[in-house]
Structure 1
Amino acid sequence: MYSQFNVCQFKKDGDIKTRSAYVFDTVELNDQWTLNGGIRYENFRVDNTTISREDNMWNYQAGVVYKPVRNGAIYLSYGTSSNPGGENLGQAGGADGPAGGATIRDLKPEKSRSWELGTKWDVMNERLSLTAALFETKKTDARSTDPVTGDVSLSGNNRVRGIELGATGAITPKWDVWAGYTHLDPKIKEYRSGNNDFSGKQIKFIAKNSASLWSTYKVHPQWTVGGGATYVGKRFVNDANTLELPSHTVYDAMIRYDVNKSVALQLNGNNLGDTRVYDASHVGLFANVGPGRSVMLTATYRYD
């Protein structure tokens, strides 16, 4: 009789080190106009034990807020961000195509530019806040693979446009609501991976439509009930748009009993319909299944 032990050795993929500093400020010009802005510096170094790369990145944000009346505001914001080469070091399976690991040592960071125009209004004696926003993010130098040489260059181009609507607050002193809807138009403007040209396709992993609603009502000074739903539209999981995760709607509910000012008991029921939910997918090879129906009872204690 003998025992056999297998010893597994794991090899380190490498190291990523980042250092950053930023400054942000808001200036009130008067009761109606406010300016805000900031700048961020980041040093990013990646090393896969064979080659290494170091990038110094500067990004900024600037915005203006105009309040035509006390309970309403309109804002405009613009900002930039960067994705350095090697940011996905250690990720296997090629999920990001040419956006992979530290072997991309001859490319500068990808840069994105975003703007947002929005408004917020407090209504019903300022108990309820209504919001709306239009926005767009462009990446005009995304990584793309040359079909002849196989070299990776910053010749890709994609953009996401969208609109977002929201409502948060109290409809009555006893009735609270949180609601939101988002519509996105995620488009690949120009992108190649090897011999495949995906220009004009929808960007993977992004649902065009999503919405959520949650509401609570105090039926008694000590009893509160609530419920809501979350919807996520279908999402493509590959660049060719031939594989997709189906849309889903999840329903949740709760009931809370306030024993006194300090102690409360709450019962939550999540995913009451036991809907099959796919949180994410790895380029169509497999998908992560989200939690099914669950019930949770919690007790909280607050003290001053």
Structure 2
Amino acid sequence: MAQQTLPEVTVRESRLPAHELQTSQPASTASHVDVPVLDLPASVSGVSSQQMDERADYRVADAITRTVGLSASGAPGNGGLSFSSRGFNGVNSIGVAEDGITLGVASGTVNYPGESWGYERIEVLRGPASLMYGSGTMGATINAIRKQPSRERSTEVLLGAGSHGKAYTGIGAGGALGETLSYRIDAYGERTDGERELGQASSAKLMSALRWTPRHDLTLDLSADFSQQKPERYFGTPVVDGRIVGQLRDKNYNVLDAIDQFKDQRFRAKAQWRASDTLMLRNEIYHFKSNRHWKNIEAYDYRPANGQVVRSDYLEIGHDVQQSGNRMGLDLQAAGHQIAVGWDLSNAQFTSTSNSPYRGGSTVSAFEPQHGYWDSPDAYLPRMNSSLRQNALYLEDAWKISEQWLLMAGMRRDWYAFSRTNIQDGSGFDKPLNGTSWRLGLTHKFDALSSAYVQTSTGHDPVASLLAIAQSQSGFSLSQGRQIEVGYKQQLANGRGEWTVAAYRIVKDDIITRDPSNHNLPVQGGRQSSRGLELTGLVHTGKALRFEGNLAFVDAKFDRLLEGSQGADRTGNRPGNVPRVTANLWGHYRSGPWQASVGLRYVGDRFADNANTTRLPSYAVTDAVLSWDMNPRTTLRLVGRNLGNRLYATTAQSSNQWLLGRGRSVELSALMRF
């Protein structure tokens, strides 16, 4: 047999320096076509793996809230990946994806991915993102982009330990296997005793990928991932008259046998064939599975008069979520056009088990609680099965009219078929839901380093998690939203930095309100709107000094909303857990093998609920990292978090129970590369 000569393959390093310009990145999170961020008529940015290492941000939530306009509202009950962006809050308006695929939201929970290890970049597309991801993305979509197999051999090892018994390790490796195979493996594990009672938490994950390139124009990828998270069993601290009681900072009122646990498995196979210089075909098939289990006391009411805490809401809940799908796409370049056409198909199954109606109660000392054990008079039983079948067709076109003008247009149609069965009595219903979204944008390039854009887009959000629609919500349709946005992006000469500015207005109609003539009857017809300004910047003031920062202002309100059986009017109120102002600033100074980095994160005040009766105070937290390149392969880092030991709340569990942020801590880590 004659020996086959394979074509020459040129391998280029895909990793970018920690300070690489955001506007030089490809815009895969924000568009199906190949357009750089500088040319894209939309707001998208993110953090690279080098930035996450540099700042020691090993949680996805920590990394993402360094980006413009994102604040955290995560809690154990919602999976920890709930955010606020552009005036909208929660998992039904801020989507979370991995390599462009989202798992259907079940009962308001998103927990994957928890750790940032193993990702090349984590990006955020702001504003309605239904064109890319379907329903539930009115405020923004977060997309974690995995590290890919490479034929170049590399190994990374992370070891770290710190305050409160914290220890973590990460291993990443990739390289060639023979002439046509390459691989990538990333593993991470973490544990801590926590800074309060019952604060123990742990997580572990394994991400594996294999790439086969039998020909220069054909690539096949297989991946298998496993993750287990056991977050801190902490559901907040009771407050008094809207104030945090400092003496309760390290107290936890849960039970000794409390459970918080998330297990995830993900399998994918992807094929990509470049049929010609102008035509690319790709197909991806996947299966995701998530099992979640909670058993906790979740409501605490502090009584200062007698120094006691009354506990209620004895919840035990289980989620079994499975989703299988296929994504097919075609990319075509012709006559100044880049065209993407695709069909997404998925089928999700959800079983909810619980001890509803969650009765039970007890009283413990506020300062020396005897935690006891969980007990409920209500049986833990399967309650509901549901399924959601989704079909989506999309078309997107980027037309380069001239060297200065780029016109982008796209449209997507989603068809959802929902079915629910109540296991206990056999009742149920079927519900079709449909949504159409589109985006039209125009970019003008003043020169190679600067551009301005204008775009208008639409999107749709569910009134509740799509996999958990209740009988009382069966008559509702998707909430519709629209946005108009203008922006400017500029890179400074000689790669010295960049800056961007975006201004927007979003209006979301058909949110749930109350019938004005019958306040007991929920109806669609409410309206929520926001307008805002976002600024980002990076500048090298010299060879040794670099600054990165962002600032966001949002004016969000309910234009029409009646709540509760009394029909309380919330018109003009700000939505709960939405800050008006957020900001981040990092300064980095390098001297030889040493680098000192100081970061400041500011989150403005937020209301605990839509009534705007209780206000969570604003907070500013300072972090610092001192890095020493011990040799070309090893970097040691001393990390200080919340250096001022600021006492603050990240989000409200209820008006009188808030989740507190982490106190001061110190870590020492080593990152080794081979």
Partner SS state of residue 172, structure 1: coil
Partner SS state of residue 125, structure 1: helix
Q: Please, which moves more after superposition, 136-145 or 52-61?
A: 52-61
Q: Please, which moves more after superposition, 120-129 or 243-252?
A: 120-129
Q: How much does 1:224 deviate?
A: 0.7
In structure 2, the CA distance between the partners of 1:199 and 1:262, relative to structure 1 (3 Å rule), is same
- Could you tell me whether the CA contact under 8 Å between 1:14 and 1:89 is conserved in 2? no
Q: How much does 1:48 deviate?
A: 5.5
Q: Please, which moves more after superposition, 33-42 or 251-260?
A: 33-42
Q: Does 1:160 align with 2:160?
A: no
For 2:579 and 2:594, locate their aligned partners in 1 and report how far apart those are by CA, in whole Å.
Answer: 37
Q: Does 1:265 align with 2:636?
A: yes
Please, what TM-score do these two structures have when normalized by structure 2? 0.41
Matches within 5 A, 1:85-96: 85-87=463-465
Count the aligned residue pairs.
Answer: 289
Tell me the alpha carbon deviations over residues 107-160 of structure 1, each in whole angstroms, 9 at most, x when there is no partner.
211111112111011225332111111111101322211143232222111211
For 1:80 and 1:285, locate their aligned partners in 2 and report how far apart those are by CA, in whole Å.
Answer: 36
- Structure 2 unaligned blocks of 5 or more: 1-374, 423-427
- State the partner residue of 1:148: 517
In structure 2, the CA distance between the partners of 1:53 and 1:171, relative to structure 1 (3 Å rule), is farther
Partner SS state of residue 631, structure 2: coil
Matches within 5 A, 1:10-159: 10-15=381-386, 17=388, 19-21=390-392, 22-44=394-416, 45=418, 47=420, 49=422, 50-87=428-465, 101-149=470-518, 150-159=520-529
- Structure 1 unaligned blocks of 5 or more: 1-5, 91-99
Between Structure 1 and Structure 2, the one with more strand by share is 1
Q: How much does 1:13 deviate?
A: 4.1
- State the partner residue of 2:549: 179
Q: Please, which moves more after superposition, 258-267 or 106-115?
A: 258-267
- Could you tell me whether the CA contact under 8 Å between 2:388 and 2:467 is conserved in 1? no
Q: Does 1:232 align with 2:610?
A: no
- Could you tell me whether the CA contact under 8 Å between 2:434 and 2:478 is conserved in 1? no
Partner SS state of residue 108, structure 1: coil
The RMSD of aligned alpha carbons is 2.4
One-letter amino acid of the structure 1 residue matched with residue 609 of structure 2: N
Partner SS state of residue 495, structure 2: coil
In structure 2, the CA distance between the partners of 1:288 and 1:142, relative to structure 1 (3 Å rule), is same
Partner SS state of residue 51, structure 1: strand
Partner SS state of residue 103, structure 1: helix
Between Structure 1 and Structure 2, the one with more helix by share is 2
For 1:80 and 1:72, locate their aligned partners in 2 and report how far apart those are by CA, in whole Å.
Answer: 26
- State the partner residue of 2:561: 191
For 1:171 and 1:155, locate their aligned partners in 2 and report how far apart those are by CA, in whole Å.
Answer: 52
In structure 2, the CA distance between the partners of 1:176 and 1:20, relative to structure 1 (3 Å rule), is farther
Tell me the alpha carbon deviations over residues 35-78 of structure 1, each in whole angstroms, 9 at most, x when there is no partner.
22322333332525333422122212221111112221101122
Q: How much does 1:83 deviate?
A: 1.7
- Could you tell me whether the CA contact under 8 Å between 2:532 and 2:555 is conserved in 1? yes
For 1:73 and 1:30, locate their aligned partners in 2 and report how far apart those are by CA, in whole Å.
Answer: 14
- State the partner residue of 1:95: none
- State the partner residue of 2:12: none
Tell me the alpha carbon deviations over residues 238-285 of structure 1, each in whole angstroms, 9 at most, x when there is no partner.
222111111000000001111222221112111111112322113414
One-letter amino acid of the structure 1 residue matched with residue 412 of structure 2: R
Partner SS state of residue 53, structure 1: strand
- Could you tell me whether the CA contact under 8 Å between 1:256 and 1:265 is conserved in 2? yes
- Could you tell me whether the CA contact under 8 Å between 1:85 and 1:105 is conserved in 2? no
For 1:46 and 1:199, locate their aligned partners in 2 and report how far apart those are by CA, in whole Å.
Answer: 34
Q: Does 1:205 align with 2:577?
A: yes
- Could you tell me whether the CA contact under 8 Å between 2:559 and 2:571 is conserved in 1? yes
One-letter amino acid of the structure 2 residue matched with residue 164 of structure 1: E
